Amino acid sequence: MSPLFYAFVLVAAALALEGLHSIFVGRRRQGRVAARRRLRRMTRRIQTPDALDDESLLRAVVLEGGSLWERAIGAVPGRKEIELRLYRAGLAMTPERFLVVSAALAGGVWVLVVAFMGDLALALILAGIAAFVPWLQAGHLGAQRIRNFEKQFPDALDLMIRALRAGHSLTAGFGMVGEELPDPIGAEFSQLADEIQLGLPLRKALANLSFRVPSGDLPFFTTAISIQQETGSNLAEVLENLASVMRERFKLLGKVRALTAMGRASANLLAAWPVVTVGALYLVNREYVAPLWEEETGRMLVVLSVCMVIVGYVLCRKMATIKV
């Protein structure tokens, strides 16, 4: 092969490694201030439909703060959905960069498989799988971020209760949570306090928070505050009871996860075992497993096997998942 081809292989491998670094490692090295700044810019376009239609001070600030390029690319179809997915995952990267990472991973895997194995069909299948790796990782990070938010929520309520009993306002309590507690709940409540201070009504600011963080506990929190704002009540006592209920729910959730750990481990083992078996056979006797990618029937069996493994994994995980 020509030296130019090997140069393409090297570039593709470098892009693939850079993409994996951006998704898996780069997120951990972001400072708190830089990450919050980027996520705050993302919230300018991530709001509930009602908030976007509201002619408020916040909307004016958003439109004036965004550049012409930001307003132009904001009209691209599907960009807001990708940005919302990245925001919920806590990834401070643009949708354009995210798509480039997906394409780089797919292209890098395709070039490497073609270079070292020479099978175009297998290269296409593996490239398609590699393209979905960033999306799967973003979904995993989003679910992890929501779990961390829910774990921190009772502590945030305790801090707000102490602030209310000390005579501070509700908005000041939101700001204290944003300053004192770590992310993700610190960043979200800091954004909530800023929206209220900029003139957004409390109800819509809480709706934006629930939209950005799809947690099952937030509706109870927003409902309690809305009722207190309309009818008046001892908000500190209500929040104290809510924090107690959340802690009891987490205790029950921990027991359920311990009881279903065997089911999740079985799903992971069943999904990884075919790959381990084929890899071991390839190292011991390559000719024995070569028909899987050299013959048409073998490639069909590989595709069918992958689909069945995915279905089995999803079913096992569903049976081992119990919502509390």
**Residues 182 and 229 reside in one and the same domain:** yes
**Residue 157 sits in a domain of what CATH number?**
1.20.81
Sequence length of the chain is 324
Mean pLDDT of 247-253: 88
**Domain edge (last residue) among 246, 277, 293:** 246
**Domain edge (last residue) among 246, 270, 296:** 246
Mean pLDDT of 259-282: 88
Task: Look up residue 23 and give its DSSP letter.
Answer: I
Angle CA 293–269–265, to nearest 5: 155
- What Cα–Cα distance (Å) separates residue 73 from each residue in 201, 206, 290? 28, 27, 47
Q: For residue 66, is it within any domain?
A: no
H/E stretch holding 252 reads: helix 235-259
**Residues 158 and 242 reside in one and the same domain:** yes
User: Which pLDDT tens digit goes with each residue over 150-187?
Assistant: 999 999 999 999 999 999 989 999 999 999 998 889 98
What is the pLDDT, as a whole number, of residue 51?
47
Domain total in the chain: 2
In whole angstroms, what separates CA 129 from the centre of its chain? 19
Q: For residue 193, is it within any domain?
A: yes
Q: For residue 124, is it within any domain?
A: no
Q: Which two tokens stand for residue 42?
A: 């993302």
pLDDT band, very low/low/confident/very high, at 77 (cuts 50, 70, 90): low
**Residues 238 and 271 reside in one and the same domain:** no
| Least confidently predicted of 234-238, 239-243, 318-322 | 318-322
Angle CA 48–140–99, to nearest 5: 70
Domain holding 237, by residue range, is 147-246
**Residues 203 and 282 reside in one and the same domain:** no
| 55, pLDDT greater than 70 | no
Q: For residue 289, is it within any domain?
A: yes
pLDDT band, very low/low/confident/very high, at 302 (cuts 50, 70, 90): confident
Q: For residue 294, is it within any domain?
A: yes
The answer to whether the beta carbons of residues 180 and 186 sit under 8 Å apart is: yes
| 6, pLDDT greater than 80 | no
